[in-house]
């Protein structure tokens, strides 16, 4: 069953430089799934969530919740927010300051005309889920940021909404607390099994929390896949770049194989043969190995480029990051600190397993 279906959704903001904030977006969120929307600032994540919640009116497309349309541009249907049965948590905790924690959590239940004793019981129950039962009588100003965000989560969960929308709920918290709350959120999701869309621009958060991850670029979905597939096989050069895969080489076909803007490539060229005259090769810094030019390269499955020079060696605890120059091209290698022996100025050859090379033709992974 599909819990939430978004079809060909378009949202334009009017104005002189009309922005298409959401551009032909198609997403199916399955029941019990936590789908993560990942993308840089301004790519349309919040706008998409607000359209789903009914806080923003889209111009085109359809939104279907549990088989029933809540928005349909063709028929003019546009259900108001309070009828959509959606829970929301935002970046700023947005609790009512004049209400105790207990009353904050009861608020959406009161709006649904639930009786007083049921309200009390349900609020207690969700406060236990977020481990804040002991805070019920406090006011928001008497809570830490992490506690406020747990209460905001409890308030959204209290009416058992069909879908939970979470817009960067952890980004106002410090790094340690983020990790703790992310782990807790993961456990709560497993326990309650709600259906959710979670927005972030932090890829680790996306990979930790997402059953699937949708990467957005300028209003469009570039890739929608399991976290592992997004990480291992970024579908477009945009996704590869967004994930911080720093080494990008332009490859050109030459007489006997491929040359790159870092120099000629040697080794297992058959492994990267494609029907194209130009390609782009992306490679994670961890995949690059460093050799001195005199060292013989034995592995047949490897590709190599020689003629480089070590520019900088940065110790980053456990790993050493090495910046390399090949003519005008910069490459980045990251290797275990043990055994690292290169110094700035050293001549260097790099090699990598052909299977680690991510190859793109016209921006698409091949």
Ligand X SMILES: Nc1ncnc2c1ncn2[C@@H]1O[C@H](COP(=O)(O)OP(=O)(O)OP(=O)(O)O)[C@@H](O)[C@H]1O
Spatial neighbors of 39 by CB under 8 A, at least 6 apart, are 45, 201, 215, 216, 217, 242
Measured from the CB of residue 351, what is the shortest distance to Mg ion in angstroms?
A: 42
Among 22, 36, 38, 46, the residue binding Mg ion under the rule CB under 5 A is 46
Rounded to whole angstroms, the Cα distance separating 182 from 295 reads 46
Q: Which is nearer to Mg ion, 46 or 260 (CB)?
A: 46
Q: Which span (9-17, 44-52, 288-296, 310-318) binds Mg ion, by CB under 5 A? A: 44-52
| Residue nearer to ligand X on the CB measure, 20 or 365 | 20
Phi, psi of 325 (to 5 degrees): -110, 130
47 binds Mg ion per the rule CB under 5 A: no
* Closest of 268, 272, 88, 111 to residue 163, by C-alpha: 88
Shortest CB 166 distance to Mg ion, Å: 11
Of the residues 4, 6, 9, 21, which one makes contact with ligand X according to CB under 6 A: 21
Q: How far is the CB of 55 from Mg ion (least distance, A)?
A: 13
13 binds ligand X (CB under 6 A): yes
Using CB under 6 A, pick the residue from 35, 38, 45, 251 that binds ligand X.
Answer: 45
Per partner kind, with CB cut-offs from 5 to 8 A, the member of ligand X, Mg ion, none near residue 42 is ligand X
Which string of x and - marks every residue 163-202 that binds ligand X (by CB under 6 A)? --------------------------------------x-
Least Å distance between CB 227 and ligand X?
A: 19
Nearer to Mg ion, 20 or 361 (CB): 20
How many residues in the shown chain lie near Mg ion by CB under 5 A?
A: 1
Enumerate binding residues for ligand X (CB under 6 A): 13, 15, 19, 21, 39, 41-47, 201
């Amino acid at each position: 069953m599909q819990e939430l279906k978004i079809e060909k959704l378009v949202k334009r903001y009017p104005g002189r430089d009309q922005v298409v904030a959401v551009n032909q977006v198609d997403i199916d969120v399955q029941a019990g799934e936590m789908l993560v929307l990942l993308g840089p600032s301004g790519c349309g994540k919040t706008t998409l969530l607000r359209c789903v919640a009914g806080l923003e009116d889209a111009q085109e497309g359809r939104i279907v919740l549990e088989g029933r349309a809540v928005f349909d541009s063709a028929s003019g249907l546009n259900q108001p927010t309070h009828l959509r049965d959606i829970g929301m948590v935002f970046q700023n905790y947005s609790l009512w300051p004049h209400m105790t924690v207990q009353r904050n959590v009861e608020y959406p239940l009161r709006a649904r005309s639930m009786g007083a004793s049921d309200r009390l019981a349900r609020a207690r129950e969700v406060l236990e889920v977020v481990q804040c039962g002991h805070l019920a009588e406090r006011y928001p100003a008497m809570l830490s940021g992490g506690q406020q965000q747990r209460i905001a989560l409890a308030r959204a969960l209290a009416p058992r909404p069909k879908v939970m929308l979470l817009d960067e709920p952890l980004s106002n918290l410090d790094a340690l607390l983020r990790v703790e709350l992310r782990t807790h959120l993961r456990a709560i999701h497993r326990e309650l099994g709600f259906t959710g869309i979670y927005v972030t621009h932090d890829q680790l958060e996306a990979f930790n929390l997402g059953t699937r991850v949708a990467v957005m670029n300028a209003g469009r979905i570039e890739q929608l896949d399991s976290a592992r597939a997004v990480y291992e096989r970024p579908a477009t050069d945009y996704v590869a770049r967004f994930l911080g895969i720093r080494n990008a080489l332009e490859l050109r076909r030459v007489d006997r194989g491929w040359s790159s803007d870092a120099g000629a490539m040697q080794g297992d060229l058959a492994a990267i043969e494609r029907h194209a005259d130009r390609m782009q090769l992306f490679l994670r810094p961890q995949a690059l190995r460093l050799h001195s030019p005199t060292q013989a390269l034995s592995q047949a499955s490897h590709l190599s480029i020689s003629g480089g020079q070590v520019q900088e060696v940065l110790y980053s605890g456990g790993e050493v990051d090495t910046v390399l120059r090949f003519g005008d091209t910069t490459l980045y290698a990251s290797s275990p600190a043990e055994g690292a022996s290169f110094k700035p100025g050293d001549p260097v050859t790099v090699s990598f397993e052909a299977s680690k090379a991510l190859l793109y033709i016209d921006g698409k992974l091949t």
